[in-house]
Amino acid sequence: MANPDSGSTPSKPFSQACENNKAPILAVLQRVFDHSSRVLELGSGTGQHACYFAPALPHLEWQPSELSENIAGLCQWVDACNSPNLLPPLLLDVSGIEWPSASHDAVFSANTAHILSWSDAQLMIKRVAEKLPTGGIFALYGPFKYDGLYTSQSNHEFDCWLKQQHPERGIRDFEQVVAVAKSRGLMLYEDNPMPANNRLLVWVKQPMGLADDRDQDNP
Ligand SMILES: C[S@@+](CC[C@H](N)C(=O)[O-])C[C@H]1O[C@@H](n2cnc3c(N)ncnc32)[C@H](O)[C@@H]1O
């Protein structure tokens, strides 16, 4: 549906889930990004998170990013938000090699690990770990399985639906994600329960040399 205020300008993309989860996520980010100054967001989607978090975290700069097909919609939100600490979105495919060269001391991503293939999710974690300085923070929001079990019937149904969309999608195992992160020098710091059976996992980058050099499966 076209935006009635702007003639031919298409209406902004919208996610109800973002509206529902943004306040509980922010409550954690306000604490764990307390000493962060430059946050890179991966797979920003519509941009609703970026537009809610950036003005509420005025001590830091928020850098949203997305795949090319979703950049236009993301820019609509970012332009409308007009927050001085919210940067113009970057094109970034987390599975690619071209990551921004700018330094970031924190990374946030919501609902990407189950959309990416497991191989690309591992690559994302690897690149995040390479990017962060010692003490840098990685916060990853989404649903996870524990001990191979779903935390709710709705997550089980969601996982079946994801796999119907694409066989490589799916809710990831908490233990496997934590093991991959650890092998890259990211130490799990918090596992925060979130509404609707989601979690907000928080890692801290360890000093160089503390990574467990075992490579998980591939990348
Ligand atoms: C389920 S949406 C989540 C969007 C937003 N973070 C949220 O929580 O509403 C997953 C997002 O990941 C993005 N995405 C998928 N594959 C990606 C990749 N290889 N690199 C970067 N982003 C990717 C999609 O474009 C999509 O916007």
CATH number of 16-95+103-217: 3.40.50.150
Mean pLDDT of the region 110-127? 98
Pocket flag, ligand 1, residue 21 (CB < 6 Å): no
Mean pLDDT of 19-48: 98
Q: How far apart are the C-alpha atoms of 141 and 143, rounded to whole Å?
A: 7
Q: How far is CA 99 from CA 14, 79, 117, 122, 203, in A?
A: 27, 23, 19, 15, 20
Report the percentage of the chain scoring pLDDT > 90.
Answer: 88
**pLDDT attached to residue 218:** 47
- Model confidence at 97, pLDDT cuts 50, 70, 90, reads confident
Count of beta carbons in the 10 Å neighbourhood of residue 19? 11
Protein residue with least CA distance to atom 26, ligand 1: 45
- Does the CB atom of residue 112 touch ligand 1 within 6 A? yes
Confidence band for 208, pLDDT divided at 50, 70 and 90:
confident
Mean of pLDDT over the chain: 93
Nearest protein Cα to ligand 1, atom 18? 93
Q: Indicate if ligand 1 lies below 6 Å from the C-beta of 162.
A: no
Q: Are 40 and 91 in contact (CB under 8 A)?
A: no
Residue 6 has a pLDDT of 44
Euclidean distance between CA atoms 51 and 86, whole angstroms: 8
Q: How distant is the alpha carbon of residue 1 from its chain centre?
A: 28
Which residue's structure tokens are 């467990």? 212
Residue 160 has pLDDT above 90, yes or no: yes
198 in contact with ligand 1, CB cutoff 6 A: no
**Alpha-carbon 11 to chain mean position:** 24
**Confidence band for 9, pLDDT divided at 50, 70 and 90:** low
Q: Atom 21, ligand 1: which residue's CA is nearest? A: 93
Whether the CB of 95 sits within 6 Å of ligand 1:
yes
Rounded mean pLDDT of 132-147? 98
